[in-house]
Amino acid sequence: MDQTGCPHIVGTKVYSHIRKNKIAFTRFRVSSHDLLIEKGRHFNINRADRLCIYCHMNVFENEYHFLLVCPFYNNLRKLYFKPYFCHWPNKQKLITLMTSTNKITLLNVSKYIYYAFLIRSSNTL
Ligand SMILES: [Zn+2]
């Protein structure tokens, strides 16, 4: 129950968060996101210039870098991913995360994507 004592409102808030996370996950899956690897295609930015501006690794800002590598999101990654996915990232781990059928894993990946994009948008450099 919330402050008004109405469980329906709490349920709506929870549903709203789940919905936002699902939308973020779906947008990520279909490449409808703001990472430079995609955004650069739409704005005709040279592929070599689509580097991550949130870290100093000098690599493409693609889905793999965003989800498993970029140190800018380390705290978030540790919060939502098992340590296995945080250490020695590789493409197979990305595939494992994105194709998981485990509801908790999918929920955590969704939350990570949602909050990482939120942090990212509030830290425009
Ligand atoms: Zn980065």
SS3 of 17-71:
HHHHHHHHHHHHHCCCCCCHHHHHHHCCCCHHHCECCCCCCCCECCHHHHHHHCH
* 76 Cα to the center of ligand 1, angstroms: 14
**pLDDT value at 74 more than 50:** yes
Could you list which residues have their CB under 5 Å from ion ligand 1? Answer: 52, 54-55, 70
CB 61 within 8 A of CB 51: yes
Distance 36 CA to ligand 1 centre (A): 11
Return the pLDDT at 58: 95
The CA 14 to ligand 1 mean position distance, Å, reads 31
pLDDT tens across 37-65, in order?
A: 998 889 999 989 999 999 999 999 999 99
67 Cα to the center of ligand 1, angstroms: 10
Q: Within a 13 Å sphere around the CA of 58, how many CA atoms are in the beta-carbon half? A: 0
Q: What's the CA gap between 94 and 56, in Å, rounded?
A: 21
Whole-model pTM: value is: 0.84
Ligand 1: centre distance to CA 54 (Å): 5
pLDDT of residue 6: 41
